[in-house]
Structures are given as C-alpha cells and as structure tokens.
Structure 1
Amino acid sequence: MLTFMSTSTAKPMVAYLKWAFIVTGVGLALGAALGWQTTGTLSGALTIFFICAVLAVLEISLSFDNAIVNANKLKTMSPVWQHRFLTWGILIAVFGMRIVFPLLIVVIAAHVGPIDALIMAAARPAEYARIMQEAHLPIAAFGGTFLMMVALTYFFDQEKDVHWVEWLESRMASYATIKGVEIALVLILVLLFSRLLEGEARNVFVYSAIYGLLTFLLVEVLGGFLDRTQETTRAAAQGGLGAFLYLEVLDASFSFDGVIGAFALSQNLFVIAIGLGIGAMYVRSMTIMLVERGTLAEYRYLEHGAFYAILILSVIMYCQTLVHIPEVITGLGGAALIGVALWSSIRSNRCEAGAAPK
C-alpha cells in the first residue's frame, strides 16, 4: 500500500486545520462585506455573515462521510496524485461544484448563455433559485444512483472480511460472487420509485438515474483500464488519474444535495459559494488528517459507518423527488451513524486490548 506524503502521527490537529481556519476567516469577512454592500446596514452584514457560517456547518455535516471515503481511496494512490487531488481537486470542488455547476444547470434549464446565467444570479436571484429548485428531480436521481452504487459496491465485496453489522454484511459479501447483483438492486429501486411519480417526472427520474448508473460504470471501467497497465511510470500515473476522476465524480454527487439545499437559506449564488467553499476546506483538512494518522485502520468501523451514511443519503435523495426532507436531517443522520461507528470501533479496540495476553 502506498503511503501518504507524511507518515508522522505527532502532528497536532490544529496543524491540519490551519488552511481551513484561514479560509474561514477570509470567507466570513467576504460574506460580511457582501452583506454590507447589498444592504448597506450592519444587520444585513451580520445576517450574511451568519448564513455563510451556517452553510459551512451544513456542508461539513453532509460531507464528513465524503472525507472518509476520500481518505480510503487516497491511501491507495501515489503521493503525486494524492497531492494533485488535494490541490486541483479542492479547486474543482469549490469553484466547479459550488459556482460553475449551479450556473451550468441554469444555462441548460433556461436555455441561456453562461454570462446571462451569471447576470441572473447577481440581479435576479429569486428567478435563479426557482430554476435550480425545478432541476432538483434529475439531480437527485443522478446523484442518488451514483452514491447508491458507491455504497453497494463497498458492501458487495467478497474480499471484505471486517464486518460491523455482521449478520447483514457477511451475507452481502457472500452474494458478491453473483455478477451484477448491486446493479440489479439499484435498477429495482429505480423502477419502484419511478412508479410513485407521474407523467414526465417519471421519465426524467428514470433517464437521470440511468445516466447516474452509467457514469459510475464508466468511471469504474476507466479506473480498471488504467490500473491494468501500472507496470510503467506513465501508466502508474494514469492509474492515479482514474482514481482522481472517480473521486471528483464522487465529490460532485455528494455536493448535489448541499448545493440544492443551500438555496433554502440564501438565493445568492456568491453567498452559497462562500459558505459551501468554507465547508469544503474542512472536508479537505479532515481527509488529510484521516490518511496521515491512519485513523481508518485504527477505528475499523469508521469506514463502514461512512458507507452506511452514503447508502442512506442516496435513498433520501430518491425520497426527495417525492417529498421535501430538510437537509439538517440528512446531515445529522449521517453524522450520527459515523459517531456510532466510531464508538463501536473504540469499544472493539478496548475489548481486544483487554483480551490480549499480558
């Protein structure tokens, strides 16, 4: 297994969060300045300041499981591609998913140019938010399907020998020998949920879900193709490219829910970008800390909790095509699962330490 850039475990937690703290200070200052510029009042500046802070917390709560999955994938990548993901990847995550992606949705949905979409975001935020909300159905179907495949692929793995929920995970691992079992499960769920929709919404849901499934399979195929030729230096770098692309699509799927949900707090694209961007920096810092400290190896069930959270998030995204589910429930639910997994890991470690011969 490849090691991370630094194998030191003595690095204090504050050191990992240094850049996140800096971005927080700058981002909140920009948020307050934006509030002052748009309202001309201190209360307006404080309101935008507070919204940015809440959005950052929302992003962190929704994306902590993302950090765990990123860390799991990063530990198998070469140091060069680890560095590229944590530099280029964070730029793509902050500017691509939090700014370009919402603009792209409006460009496609409203049939306008990128400049017109940007002007709409700045001058007509209510209309911009309406278009984003109307695009929620295909986004939820696409992202939910991709995330569901990510979670099921983790559990339907015949080489997986560490189980948190033993009775369930051991059976899923044994069924992994059945080719395409996770794909069949996802397609069954897609058909079941589509039956609850009517008219054009049903077609949009099914097509978007299929595109999500196809995207996952294509990323897997690309990663497998590049990993087959790792015997040369150039090919090894390409293998890192496959993992890099996988992580970027994964981050995009995680971001869908947060970006759409953020419009419940603010209709200003720039306020949303600041708040979610701050949260994304904390996710990056947590990812680095998890890899460098070997936290996933030390707390054996932490990864399980993250993938259960992903599975539940994917189902929630499907349910959101039918009813509105507050983002706070999604975030707290995922955080609670990870917390229980952490507690189970600590208890298991203590039991092993107590049973060890002295």
Structure 2
Amino acid sequence: MATLGYFKWSFIVTITGLALGAWFGWHTAGTLGGAFSVFLICAVLAVLEISLSFDNAIVNANKLKEMTPKWQRRFLTWGIIIAVFGMRVIFPLAIVAIAASIGPFAAMQLALREPDEYFRIMLDAHLSIAAFGGTFLMMVALSFFFDEHKEIHWVHAIEERVSRYASVRGVEITFVLVLMILFAHLVAPQEKLTFLGSAVWGLLTFLLVDLLGNVLDKSGEALAGAAKGGLGAFLYLEVLDASFSFDGVIGAFALTQNLVVIAIGLGIGAMYVRSMTIMLVERGTLTQYRYLEHGAFYAILALSVIMYAQAIVHVPEVLTGLGGAAVIGTALWSSIRYNRRAEAD
C-alpha cells in the first residue's frame, strides 16, 4: 500500500473534524471570524497531539507485533474509539468528577458551561496525573533498556552497560523509586503525600498490567487462544495511551477551554497516530530502521522525567513535543546512516 493509503481515514476525519469545528465556531460566535478561529485551533491541536504522540505510535507498533491478528484488529478499531472518546473526553471528565466529588453529568455541564472552573479542577488534579503517568511511562522506557537479551544498542556507552545490570532483579523498580523519593522532596510539603501516593499507583498499575499480560500469554492454550498475546497487551496499550493523552489535554487548554473543540482537535491527531501505527506494523519500519524504536523509548523516558518536573515547574507542551520529535528524528537519521554503511560494506 502507498504511504498516503495508510492515511486515507485520517484525511477523511481531518476534513470532517475541521468542517465540524468551523460550523461549531459559526454556531457559537455567529461570525466568519469565529468559525475560522475554531477551525485554526482544531488544526493546531491536531498537530500538537501528533507531535506529542509520535513516540506512542512507535511503541504501539512494537507491542502490536506480538499480538494476534484478531487483537490487532480489536486495538485498531475499539482502541481508537477508546483513545478518541475515552481518553480525550471521558477520562478528563472522570478526573474532574472525582476531584470535585460530583457526578459525570455534572462534570459535563461544568465543562460546557463553566470551562474556567473545569480547567481549574483539572489543574488541581495535574500533580496526581503527572506522578501517575510519569511513573508508568518511566517503567515502560526502563523495561526496554533493562533487557539482558537486548542486542541492538544505539547509544552504546549507556545501553550496553545498562543491559548488563538487567539480570539484577528489580533494578528498574529501584531506579524509579529513588527518583520518586527525590522528586517528592522537591515538591511543596503539603503535596508530598499526594505525589508519592499517585506515583506508587502508577508503579503498581504497570506491574499489574505486565503481570496480567504474562499470565494471559502463558495460559493462552487454556483460554483456547482467545486472549493469548492480546488482552494483556491491549490493556497495556490503553493505559499507555492514557498516560500520553492527559498531557495533550492539559496542553490543549492553553489554546481553548471548550471541551468540544479539544475533542475535535485531539481526535484528529489520534487518528494520525493510529494510521502511523498501522504503517509501522505492516511495513516493518521498526525492522528497517533499527534505532527508531530506541529513539521512541528515549523520548518516553524524557517525557516521564518532564512529567515529574511539571510537579515543580511548568514545562511548555510545545517544548515537550519538539524535544520528543527531535530525539526520534535523530534516531531515524542514525538508522539511515547505518543502512547506508551496511549497503556499502
């Protein structure tokens, strides 16, 4: 399939979403200026989501390789519905509902009628989300590097040495716990327990999802192949997407506080992430470019540290997205150079 063929549905969703955004802007403002403003915001939000989630697409593709065709299709259909509506709309609403001790319908009303108050509650919950998501993503990245069977190294001085210690049980967990305690001492005293509690839940969630995946994979025959290589990986990818998406939702509020506009813009971006995931799997791009996967996990590790740092200082989402894209771009460039040298030899 040609490259553009993978993005057919993304283009359709883009046209539909931008048209819907322009109509919504016209409906709420009643002017062409209002329509164009919402149209532009939706486009920028889509670009923001793509820049923040490109490494997510690479990790998705890496995990999808291990899944059965049935579960690959389920992730690429159900998963995108959960990603667009669940993680970009329902997930933030659930956080506000829990934080404000109100019902889901009341949280929806708050988002539509009092966006300023909705955003304030979201920001109040940001510390917990940053600690939870940062810990989960850090474990995702370290599990890739602390692998004694890992043979391909991009940054040899670091990766080769790290892989030697992979046989030491719990080394990556110890590393995360040390960082967790260090950052807990840097946050405000009244927020220390909140940060630590959320970080511990992030660690436990990773370990439980990883355990569930291993149990399902090893008991696949007993389950008649229904979940082998599938359900555990599916849950893992959904939690991973949740960790990525909330940062994008918070960043979206820098442009607009309207939940409908945010859902349209981030939903368009999520479709491109899905298309990139399919292309990476079907074309075997991760095999062709040997360091691309490494770049994605370095970007995830950097994002996890940034999420921890956001508990102390504000880090612009644009900087986060550009930084991740730069790391992945460098990894791609290194892969191309390696391929050229290999062909010459």
Please indicate the TM-score interval, normalised by the length of the shorter structure: over 0.9
- In 1: Cα distance, 2:100 partner to 2:226 partner: 42
Q: Provide Cα deviations, 1:165-185, integer angstroms capped at 9, x if missing partner.
A: 011100111100100000000
Q: 2: CA distance between counterparts of 1:144 and 1:102?
A: 17
Is the Cα–Cα contact under 8 Å of residues 92 and 246 in structure 2 kept in the other structure? Answer: no
The equivalent of 1:338 in structure 2 is 328
Alignment of 1:1-358 (within 5 A): 11-231=1-221, 234-355=224-345
**Which one-letter code corresponds to 2:27 in the other structure?**
Q
CA distance in 2, matches of 1:236, 1:174: 36
Larger mean Cα displacement after TM superposition, 319-328 or 193-202: 193-202
Equivalent residues, number: 345
What secondary structure, in the 3-state scheme, does the structure 1 residue paired with 2:221 have?
coil
Instruction: Give the superposition deviation at 1:230.
Output: 2.3
- Report if the CA contact (8 A) 2:137-2:243 is conserved: yes
Instruction: Report how far residue 327 of structure 1 moved.
Output: 0.5
Partner AA of 2:184 in structure 1: S
Aligned equivalents of 1:146 and 1:320: distance in 2?
Answer: 15
Deviates more, 1:231-240 or 1:257-266: 231-240
Q: Is 1:300–1:345's contact at 8 Å kept on the other side of the alignment? A: yes
Give the superposition deviation at 1:238: 4.3
Q: Summarize deviations over 1:21-53 as a string: whole Å, max 9, x none.
A: 000011111111111111111111111111100
Structure 1 residue 106 displacement after superposition: 1.0
> CA contact under 8 A between 1:107 and 1:114: conserved in structure 2?
yes
Query: What stretches of structure 2 of length at least 5 have no aligned partner?
Result: none
Measure, in 2, the Cα distance between the counterparts of 1:273 and 1:308: 28
Structure 2 residue identity aligned to 1:307: F
Tell me the residue number matched to 1:6. none
The alignment's TM-score, normalised by the length of structure 2, stands at: 0.98
Larger mean CA deviation between 224-233 and 313-322 belongs to 224-233
Q: Which runs of 4+ in 1 moved over 6 A?
A: none
State the superposition RMSD in angstroms. Answer: 0.9
- Find the aligned partners of 1:267 and 1:125 in 2 and give their Cα distance: 6
Separation in structure 2 between the aligned mates of residue 234 and residue 68 of structure 1, nearest angstrom: 30
Given the two structures, how large is their TM-score scaled by the length of structure 1? 0.95
